[in-house]
Structure 1
Amino acid sequence: MAVMSSPAVATAPGAAPAKKSVNFANLGVGATMNMFEVTTLGQPFEVIKTHLAANRQDSMVTAFKKIYQRGGISGFYQGLIPWAWIEASTKGAVLIFAASEIEYVALGSGISPFAAGLLGGMGGGLAQAYTTMGFCTFMKTVEITRHKAVGDVAQKSTFAVASDIFKREGIRGINKGVNAVALRQCTNWGSRLGLARLAEESIHKLRGIDHSRALNTWEKIAASAVGGGLSIWNQPIEVIRVEMQSQLKTAGRPEKMTIANCARWIWQTNGLKGFYRGSVPRFGLGMWQTICMVAGGDALKKYVNDNYGKK
């Protein structure tokens, strides 16, 4: 997620919203916070979550052991370079731009700022998936789920794997599962932004804080953690996305997967509980991402604007 200031603000009750130009400093803030998030706790949570979603028979302990056996501590950072870094450094800009335009139009139609922000987050999530995230998310999953050579047997580089997939399946092959990614991002950002803002509103009411006063750092972190943690309600979509992009070969698994036949396959092999594999690490990932992007991002944005903004 990128940090978003309100991209469209109504100048007076009933007046058309005055559109603000894209703040390029905020684009840099979004990219910076995304890079920080994924390079610290983000990628380990992502690797554990993806492993459990793809290997639904494994326990959390087994997942830790297998990941560590693949490469020690570095095993928890598979897919970070270059795919997660490419994704993190680009998706924030797409989100801000798309959400800005959608929110401007939505406010102009007369709906509430909360609803406009919700629509902006959903639209921004869709834009992320279909522009920068589809390929990168697929390649991260490939790195985490593909067979790893052991001993003296050389294994292909990540770029060689991408090249092989492109030669076999073309552009569709390297964007496999992008529709599931889009559905995940749309629901992710709609719920994360909405629930975080709802949590902020609740803190104001519970503590009797005037709405004109901004929450302090710890209050913002708490609200962001609540919003990020509760956004795991769409975990079934994430499990379907991982299965569609997984490189694990299983007898009976459909060769050409759609969201529908992938969901049937998960149900047939693991039942209802299969759709919730990886929920625990994704809970941690959602909290960490939202804390970094909302609480941390707001703080960094304020610092940048105070020190380097127009005087």
Structure 2
Amino acid sequence: MTVAVASTTIPGPATTKKKVNFANLGVGAAMNMFEVTTLGQPFEVIKTQLAANRQDNMATAFKRIYQRGGIAGFYQGMIPWAWIEASTKGAVLIFAAGEIEYVALGSGISPFAAGLVGGMGGGLAQAYTTMGFCTFMKTVEITRHKATGPSVSTFAVASEIFKREGIRGINKGVNAVAVRQCTNWGSRLGLSRLAEETIRKLRGPETSHLPLTGWEKIAASAIGGGLSIWNQPIEVIRVEMQSQLKTTGRPEKMTIANCARWIWQTNGLKGFYRGSVPRFGLGMWQTICMVAGGDALKKFVNEKYAKH
């Protein structure tokens, strides 16, 4: 999603802004769909399984997921919720993060700081416009099997939650999603830009102004995505708030604060880091797809449209 800054190109010292158009918005949606349909959703399912069932280890998580539906178990919640989310949040991030980063760069701050601010703004925009309901329902699909049974359709579950709890019910945990997305994309975009600048400096002054190669872009994206795992406690809180698992003593109405207390009381400090390994992989894969892959596809599309 760092291509989310598709409207802003930073080849070196100079910064130019390209027009935000429907083709560029489509790039964000297309790359998000590719990311989630390949490795993204399996990483998401494993991460959520571990965060919601904090007593599980990696082997147990794989076994339980496979028992729920074989290979298809690793894609629980993808259709329709992850697809709906992926096809919309990329476009939101492209517009919001791109515009914010461009304005920030114009003020004279560093690419790292501009990326940090742009990513934070784009992440918040994602959470409150397109992600709340979809993220909640993905988590419901991954955790509801013990509570409601797999025979109930996902739409029936969504309808029941809406009838029982209204708009707030189907957006449960949206504030935690917002904190996660804000810190996710602030650090992913900022750290990716910092990695890009570091790679340019390592090249030497003669070639530092040249655009990054494909492999350099992938490396910078992987660094930015991988290092962004620092906010895993926020993700565990988000999963717990949206989980459908029923546990004795678990607060009925969860806030970020009482959810954090519940995790601490039941699992201690290590509970906040359950699911870190699959999330590390997810962060790298998302950022590689949305930065390296997205920038390449954006360039192809823009060049093609420029000829007409």
Report the TM-score when normalising by structure 2. 0.92
- Give unpaired runs (5+ residues) of structure 2: none
Q: Output the CA distance in 2 between the equivalents of 1:252 and 1:169.
A: 21
Q: Output the CA distance in 2 between the equivalents of 1:200 and 1:106.
A: 18
1:195 corresponds, among 187, 191, 194, to 191
Q: Is 1:165 aligned to residue 166 of structure 2?
A: no
Q: Output the CA distance in 1 between the equivalents of 2:152 and 2:6.
A: 43
Task: Return the letter of the residue paired with 1:31.
Answer: A
Task: Return the letter of the residue paired with 1:297.
Answer: G
Alignment of 1:53-202 (within 5 A): 53-107=51-105, 109-147=107-145, 155-202=151-198
Query: What is the deviation of 1:302?
Result: 1.3
Count residues in correspondence. Answer: 304
- Work out whether residues 146 and 246 of structure 1, in 8 Å CA contact, stay in contact via their aligned partners in 2: yes
Query: What is the deviation of 1:114?
Result: 3.7
The Cα offsets for residues 162-205 of structure 1, whole Å up to 9 and x where unpaired, read as: 00000010000000000000000000001001111111222222
Task: Return the letter of the residue paired with 1:172.
Answer: R
1:222 corresponds, among 216, 219, 222, to 219
Deviates more, 1:209-218 or 1:251-260: 209-218
CA, structure 1 residues 154+202, in 2 after alignment: closer, same or farther (shift >3 Å)? Answer: closer
- Work out whether residues 53 and 239 of structure 1, in 8 Å CA contact, stay in contact via their aligned partners in 2: yes
- Give unpaired runs (5+ residues) of structure 1: none
Q: Output the CA distance in 2 between the equivalents of 1:212 and 1:18.
A: 14
- Work out whether residues 111 and 193 of structure 2, in 8 Å CA contact, stay in contact via their aligned partners in 1: no
The Cα offsets for residues 125-147 of structure 1, whole Å up to 9 and x where unpaired, read as: 00100010000000000000002
1:282 corresponds, among 279, 284, 297, to 279
- Work out whether residues 2 and 34 of structure 1, in 8 Å CA contact, stay in contact via their aligned partners in 2: no
- Work out whether residues 228 and 290 of structure 1, in 8 Å CA contact, stay in contact via their aligned partners in 2: yes
1:253 paired residue number: 250
Report the TM-score when normalising by structure 1. 0.91
Query: RCO (CA 8 Å, sep 6+): is it higher in 1 or 2?
Result: 2
Q: Output the CA distance in 2 between the equivalents of 1:278 and 1:117.
A: 26
Q: Output the CA distance in 1 between the equivalents of 2:181 and 2:78.
A: 19
Identity of aligned residues (%): 85
Query: What is the deviation of 1:92?
Result: 1.1
Task: Return the letter of the residue paired with 2:40.
Answer: G
Cα RMSD over matched residues?
2.3
Query: What is the deviation of 1:90?
Result: 0.2
CA, structure 1 residues 35+119, in 2 after alignment: closer, same or farther (shift >3 Å)? Answer: same
CA, structure 1 residues 110+202, in 2 after alignment: closer, same or farther (shift >3 Å)? Answer: closer
Q: Is 1:263 aligned to residue 233 of structure 2?
A: no
Helix, strand or coil: the match of 1:237? helix
1:241 paired residue number: 238
Helix, strand or coil: the match of 1:147? helix
Query: What is the deviation of 1:113?
Result: 4.4
Q: Output the CA distance in 2 between the equivalents of 1:59 and 1:262.
A: 21
CA, structure 1 residues 296+154, in 2 after alignment: closer, same or farther (shift >3 Å)? Answer: closer
The Cα offsets for residues 22-79 of structure 1, whole Å up to 9 and x where unpaired, read as: 2221111111100000000000000000000000000000000000000000000000
2:301 corresponds, among 299, 304, 309, to 304
